[in-house]
Amino acid sequence: MGKPAHGVIYGIRLCAEFDYRYIGLTTKSERVRLRQHFKEAGAGRKTPFYDWLRKQDRDNVVADVLDWVYGLKNLGRAEIDWIAYLRKEGQPLLNLADGGLGPIGVIWTAEMREAARIRSTGRPGVSRFGDENPFHGRSHSAPQRAKWSAERLGTYQGEDNPNFGKFGAAHPRFGHAMPEESRRRLSEMRRGAGNPNYGRTASAETRAKMSAVRKGRPMPSSRRNAHTRHHTNKAVFKESCAHCVDDLATRNDHEPGAET
């Protein structure tokens, strides 16, 4: 799809007033742009216009089409002219810029965008959930996910991991528990063919390594064997152990005076 051939200059005001509070341009409809403004205001964007918009009832705000313009360059020029004209007329506009294409009337270059990215790195943002998130209901393409996977492979290992060496309360996930619904969904996703090891077997080399690591380590051959080793031989009783419960019942049956 090519660039839009035309757009509109719109003005936002209260239904009961004739003074415009904001002038903007869009290649969409003025109604769509107004909804987007309310969404950004709800997300907490800090400008005089959005501070004003947050205080208003949606039903009391209207966006009027002031001009139809063909060509993006002409659209940017028209916005500048409208803002200058209405300011001269004494309209209480809340626009911070003089208009035009881009936030300060120019089209950003790649270098300008990179500089802005560096300045904003680490700046606390506003979380948007559900319908408020512009990516809600969408998903990244398989090629994009594969590209990211290749780029990130091995990048967060050891000290490169931002949580490396953080334990207990120092770890950002400390005290958080995954909801049961999420645990259930993950479990279902990783069953059968969803398990990354489904249908695979360890190589002879891997089995040899595992055997060498476990050599000499006492490994109970069964639950009963583990019960005998860790409970019976150490005079330990655990209510959660079925064999402990069975052994206790057997001893009670053989004690003098037990019912027959």
pLDDT tens-digit map of 76-121: 899 999 999 999 999 999 988 888 776 554 566 788 778 777 766 7
> So what's the pLDDT on residue 91?
93
> So what's the pLDDT on residue 72?
82
Decide if pLDDT at 148 tops 70. yes
Give the pLDDT band (50/70/90) at residue 17: very high
Decide if pLDDT at 220 tops 60. yes
Q: What are 65's two structure tokens?
A: 């089409």
| CATH class entry, domain 6-109 | alpha beta
For the chain, where do the domains classified as CATH 3.40.1440.10 start and end? 6-109
> CA torsion angle for 177, 178, 181, 184 (degrees, to 10)?
-120
Give the pLDDT band (50/70/90) at residue 193: confident
| Average pLDDT, integer, range 63-86 | 91
Stated pTM of the model: 0.42
Neighbours of 185 (CB within 10 A): 11
Maximum C-alpha span of the chain = 108
Write out the H or E segment, with its range, that includes residue 13.
strand 6-14
Q: Do strands 61-70 and 6-14 pair parallel, antiparallel, or not at all (unpaired)?
A: antiparallel
> So what's the pLDDT on residue 260?
45
> So what's the pLDDT on residue 97?
82
Closest to 69 (Cα-Cα) out of 81, 61, 58: 81
Decide if pLDDT at 9 tops 60. yes
Distance from CA of residue 121 to its chain's centroid? 17
